[in-house]
Structure formats: structure tokens, C-alpha cells
Amino acid sequence: MAINKTQVIVIGAGPAGVSAAITIARAGKNVLLIERGDKAGDKNMFGGEIYTEHTLEVFPNFIEEAPLEKPITEQKIIMLNNDNSIEFSYKENFKNYADSYSTVRAKWDNWCVEQAIKEGVIFAPKTLVKELLIEDSKVVGIQTELEKYYADIVIVADGVNSLLLEQIGLRKKIQDSDVTVNVKEVIKLPAETIQNRFNVDEKSGQSTKILGGPFKNLFAIGFMFTNKETISIGMGISLDDLKKIELKPYELLDKLKEHPSINPYIKGGQTIEYSAHLIPEGGYKSMPKLYTNGLMAVGDSAMLVNNIHFEGTNLAVISGKLAGETAIEALNKNDFSSKQLSLYEKKLKQSFILKDLKTHKNTIEFIKKNINTITDIYPELGCGLFKVLTHSSKEPKNEVYRKFLFKVLKSGAILKTIPLVLFAMEKCFKR
């Protein structure tokens, strides 16, 4: 065996890469995990919350031991109008563990890699992979800035920009409509202030999605997460919409922060970090080929994100695990051909990952077509309805009702809701 050769090389130590690597190491195989950051997480950002059920499959001790911020016990949607808003919230008081936990990536990714190292993964940070090496139409290794390194299997987990899949032509050029541009601020506030403002305690936390307001008629959404002593607040907008508007991404975020219904949550806090990242939104249709001779693609590099449900890390973790299992079988059979590695796609198809992406393969287009209804008409009428029910004035109620009824009829909201309901119903039954 050549000196610079191992059984599996995994490129990228995000949730997808680390899950692939740890799965392979647990089977006693040799695996090298490469990351360009000084440590795992240094280059990454997300909302965000990680999902318990999936994460437990790879990191069974994470709830007790990982650097989590807060259990998410309340999921909230805020619909903003110009200067008013409505909030819907769902609370779940968990017994053993919450459905999801807020965290920050610099800490989370690093912890995951520490676990992987404990279980035998060789970790190489501060290493940028420049190129995949190909011999006889098989991927045989990598070229870093310093050296060549060979492996039986290469797993690409280099995230949304995946220069490496692009290099070997596995993935087409990404379109503007395939990604959202996201910006976020981490805002520091005393734990007690956060608890008071969000009505949570040490053992509970909130995840919030925000529609309308500054994002009217845009494919854009805001988000807020409670951490222990910070709030993560950010927004994402599809690149094609961002190109069309006057505002820059950080100016849109400022508009969100200044909205009279949002500002009280973050007021007086100090922004301790600004960041930006893309999310792949292309879904099923923009997925690259997921494997070839000697290679598998996992997580964001393979565009495995369920944007409708704000799920990314969980698809990354499980796709990484399934690619890891496929690698183990391939190593046992000493067969690294595309045919053998196609088992990975089969596993993805059997899992929620490809089922969900398929379910939602036309959802984004549908939402974009109905964006005015969702981000303008509904927040406007929703606020209007609450105002009718709660506002007291000298105007006789029947006149108030009548005016609102005319407004509803004029907006076409009832007719416009029918396709939404039909679309949602189709998603329940279509296979």
C-alpha cells in the first residue's frame, strides 16, 4: 500500500461528513476526515436547530454531552404586515427530550468531530482539497494544497458550493433560483432578558419563522432562535429575488430587526457576530448524480435539504450515515464501482430523505406562484381579522364587519386559498 493511502477519505467536517466518517470508523475501517477550517465549524453557520431523532442515530450521547443552547419547546410563526402582526405558536412540553435543540455551529461541529476522533476517525483540519484525482474514470483520491492522498472511496461532503462535484461534472451549474442567500446576527442579551421576552425558562426555548413585512412578495423568510445568552436572528432570500430588489441582504435583515413587532425581542442587545451562507433550495430537481466510481456525495453538496420544513442538518446526518454504511459494504466486498455504490441511492430512496424531497419536488415553484397570497394577502387579512375582533371604536360593529367582508372578497383570498388546500391534499396522497 502506498504511504498516502487510506480506505475512505471524507471531504468536509459538517454534519454530513462527520456522520459518514464516524459510521465508517465504528466498523473498524480507516477513514480520514478533511476540513479546510482551523477546526470544524469555523467556516459554518446555520439558523438553527438540530433535530433530535436523526442526530441520536449517530450521536447517541448528544443530549447529555453536546454543547447545546436550548431545547426547542415552542415553534412560532409570525406574520408581519407593515406595522402590525399576528403570531401563531405551538408549545410542546416534552418528557424525555425535545424534538430539536438550538445550537451554534462553531461549537456543535467541533463537538461532533471530537466524538469522531474518539471513535478512530483521523481528522485533518486546515486542509483545503483543491481537486479530486481521477484514474481510469474512477475517483481515486484528492489533491490538497500540499499533497496527493489516495483512497478506495471518497465521500464528498463539501457543502452547498461543492466545487468538487462541479470539477468532475457530477453537478450542473447552480441557478439563481436553486439557492437562498442567508444572513444572520447573533445578538447578546442577558439570559434572564431572553427568558422574559420569549416567555421561556432555562429548560425551554423558541424557534420562530417570520413571513411578510419587509419580505412581502418575495421568496424570503426570517428566523429567530433563542440560545442561552444570545438570540440568533436572520433571513434568507432566493438569489433570483435578491437580484430584483433594491435592498442588499443585510439591509433586508435590518428592516426585519427594525419592524415594530420584532424589535422588542432584540432591543438593547449587542450584535456579537454577523455571518452569511447559502442554502440549497433546488431540491429534488437540482440533485446531482449521487455516486460514481469511487465516490458518493452527501448533505448539502448533494442538495439534500427540505426547505419546506427547514430541515438540513438531519438530512445531512442521515445521508452521511447511509453513505458510511454503503462504504463499509463496498470495502468488505472490495468493490468500489458505481454499481456497488448505487446501494447508497437505494438506501436514500428507502429513507425519508428522497421520499420527502420527491413529495416537495414542485412545492417551491408552487409557493413562488402564490407568493402574493402567502406573504401579503394573508398577513394583511389575518391582522385585519384580529383588529375587527378586538379593536373598539365608535363605529357600529356591523359596519366594521361589512367593511372587512368586502376587503376579504376584494382580495380574492377565498378563491386563492382553494389551490393551496388542493395542493396540500395532493401531497398527502401522491406517492
Partner 1 sequence: MNINEKLSTLKYNKGKESHLSADNEICKECKNRVCTHICPANVYDWNEDSKSLTIRYENCLECGACKIACEKQNIKWAYPSAQYGVKFKNG
Ligand X SMILES: Cc1cc2nc3c(=O)[nH]c(=O)nc-3n(C[C@H](O)[C@H](O)[C@H](O)COP(=O)(O)OP(=O)(O)OC[C@H]3O[C@@H](n4cnc5c(N)ncnc54)[C@H](O)[C@@H]3O)c2cc1C
For binding to ligand X (CB under 6 A), which residues are involved? 11-17, 34-37, 43-44, 46-51, 128-129, 157-159, 182, 184, 234, 236, 277, 279, 299-301, 305, 310-314, 316
Rg (CA), the chain: 23
Q: Phi, psi at residue 116, to the nearest 5°? A: -65, -40
**127 touches partner 1 by CB under 8 A:** yes
CB of 313 to ligand X, least distance (A): 3
Number of H-type helices and E-type strands within the chain: 17, 18
* d(C-alpha 381, C-alpha 373), whole Å: 10
Closest CB to partner 1 among residues 102, 411: 102
Closest CB to ligand X among residues 11, 330: 11
DSSP symbols for 140-182? EEEEESS-EEEEEEEEE---TT-HHHHHTTSSPPPPGGGEEEE
CA quadruple 67, 70, 75, 76: dihedral sign: negative
**238 touches partner 1 by CB under 8 A:** no
Categorise residue 393: left if φ over 0, alpha if ψ from -120 to 50, beta otherwise: beta
CB of 18 to partner 1, least distance (A): 15
The SS3 call for residue 17 is helix
CB of 145 to ligand X, least distance (A): 9
Closest CB to partner 1 among residues 14, 324: 14
| Buried/exposed code over 61-75 (b: 16+ C-beta within 10 A; e: otherwise) | ebbeebebbbbbbbb
**228 touches partner 1 by CB under 8 A:** no
Residues contacting 370, CB < 8 A, separation 6+: 416, 419, 420
**45 touches partner 1 by CB under 8 A:** yes
**175 touches partner 1 by CB under 8 A:** yes
**389 touches partner 1 by CB under 8 A:** no
Among 128, 389, 422, 425, binds partner 1 (CB under 8 A): 128
**163 touches partner 1 by CB under 8 A:** yes
**145 touches partner 1 by CB under 8 A:** yes
Among 185, 281, 311, 376, binds partner 1 (CB under 8 A): 185
> Residue 155 is placed in which grid cell?
465521500
Q: How buried is residue 297: exposed, middle or buried, by Cβ count under 10 Å (0-12/13-18/19+)?
A: buried
Is the separation of the CB atoms in 19 and 317 below 8 Å?
yes
Among 80, 104, 156, 323, binds partner 1 (CB under 8 A): 104
> Residue 153 is placed in which grid cell?
472511496
Closest CB to partner 1 among residues 108, 344: 108
**267 touches partner 1 by CB under 8 A:** no
Closest CB to ligand X among residues 157, 194: 157
CB of 320 to partner 1, least distance (A): 19
CB of 368 to partner 1, least distance (A): 18
CB of 407 to ligand X, least distance (A): 35
DSSP symbols for 46-87? --SEEEHHHHHHH-TTHHHHS----EE-EEEEEEE-SS-EEE
Residue reference for cell 449517530: 58
* d(C-alpha 102, C-alpha 233), whole Å: 12
**19 touches partner 1 by CB under 8 A:** no
Residue reference for cell 417570520: 210
Residues contacting 338, CB < 8 A, separation 6+: 291, 292, 293
- The size of the interface with partner 1 (CB under 8 A), counted in residues, is 48
CB of 392 to ligand X, least distance (A): 40
**183 touches partner 1 by CB under 8 A:** yes
Which partner, partner 1, ligand X, none, binds residue 118 by CB below 5 to 8 Å per kind? Answer: none
CB of 406 to partner 1, least distance (A): 40
> Residue 331 is placed in which grid cell?
470495502
**415 touches partner 1 by CB under 8 A:** no
Residues that bind partner 1 (CB under 8 A): 36-38, 41-46, 104-107, 109, 126-128, 145, 160-161, 163, 173-176, 178-179, 181, 183, 185-186, 230, 232, 239, 242-243, 248-250, 254, 271-278
